[in-house]
Structure 1
């Protein structure tokens, strides 16, 4: 055997060993992420009998599919007046007020948000997209030479719709920073990455979804003459199932309703006047929303009757109840926002001659309110422990 053959054989063995070692590294990496982020099954503090009613985290695709067949419930917290408080509730009772007396609630800005420049009047709930490997399956592409942004866009478009969970990124050849393809100013990319979000409110990614995504990415890589590095799929699927289970445990929607006390309906025009006086704006979903200065949606006000509010029907519409809604994992500093929402609800109830009640039409007592606040604090602590802070870009993507 010649020296050339021996050299080629040695190089081949080194390549095989390198690929094997890289795959083992990726597998251990995803397993560590899953085990560190979701070490054990925890009860849902806001759902009664949570430990008995929620299945263990599925690790097999078929088990996950069976679990996801049951539609996810967005629970509304209801507290009995007889329940004892965890702590004495702070006094939130509102004096009798008129429409003109309702003042806009102050915007809540978390310490992280204070450091960011204010957005103008952005009302669209569009979280920042990143390559976050805590929630994404990430494929790295190494082209033999820099790739033009236009050529990459065309190659991606030829593969059709990757879905809202999939995103492409390129390393700007001038700045060396990563940016989402089509969203930056780069004309050429040095490296490319494709990500697939592993879970959101529709459920986790399954093996068939991941296989289809990898196939499309490989086709783009072949067209661009690039080498694609695919992490192991099974650890990613296990992480997807764990993420989905955790999100299901903390995915809570709190409601506070205002109903009539004498059977007379509320005029929708009066509801609109008070909502706008409190700083809320009617949106296309038929509800009034309160946004902070950065455009974050803090809480909403909807019709308790089936007909949604709209600019066209507001003058003729009347209702026997309205409901305030608060999306727990998507709001930063949620305990304060809950206080604000409840304050506005009580002011509006006083002006309308209605009563603030829970989903079972029982009055919201101080004891119940105190317990809700404690449970909110517990949920937010759990989210932060898993590095999924409420209201963060990561949380907004997971709960989309």
Structure 2
């Protein structure tokens, strides 16, 4: 809801007379320490700085799911991962079919990503009519989708690269790996190394949000040493015997040490990312002038049309076909009551490409006209995907067959060739 309100507010603000929207987001802001300074406009502080926290949250989620979550089971992962690959590749191909050359072709990465927040929010509106396994499928797909989108940004949307800064970034990565290897559980050490990593990646020319992902992947998510609980009992009893500031501080530290650093950082970061960073990002990037001339240009622009078709048809067909291939070849499984109608509806909803699509739009286009046309395509395609996906889940969800046969109960399967026996 906050992201939706921020997007609408950005559209209204951008269309007010006077141009205050662009003037505000182009305001310069600097951080200076002695002779060293870092100066960016407000939009770049949001896109390069604050969004690193969003991508840090994504990296933490990926690390946790791979380590102790649902991504540990290869069969449970294979269906959404193959669906995500189809959902990444086909939209790019469709977009390039509309924009095969020129500056517009550089925007092929815009329609490849899915906005997890919007998708999960819409699924929540369906309540019990949406199987929990479908939510899990789409969450896993979104994680694989995020990995693909982040890789695309790092590889294809980086201009010049400073080798010295990259070497420095590699040194900070080595420090983070060492902290993880020796079992350091204090978050402040990871945060300090992460800030250094962000500065190095920013100076290298690679988009600075990659530092957030790397930090999230390297903060340990494995269960802590069970001996930490013994320390908690010891310091807890000490506080009960005599409560003072020193004993209370040690008891708090012992409590924190029993929870993986990944979980503690996610808990601290999630409200900031969800309720501040992402809405502010929408406010800073969703604003586009919707005057008659801009709308006429977008209505016939291959950039706008390519993005809309790629988000709707590319995501739906790519995800459905990739998932169906994994199911039909029995490489993966979707347990529970997930039907092909749910799969199609989920594929349509995955066409909501708001956050990262707008993010890549800013990286892909130098020309303001192409950027506005791409933003209109992202907004229109995401809106259509939300409406059509909701309708598909509502009216097709229970009407198409199950994706997999639930053999946990009921009569045993018939032996091979039993269909030839008329008595069976």
TM-score range, shorter chain: under 0.3
More strand, by proportion: 1
TM-score by length of 1: 0.22
Question: TM-score, length-normalised on structure 2?
Answer: 0.21
More helix by share: 2
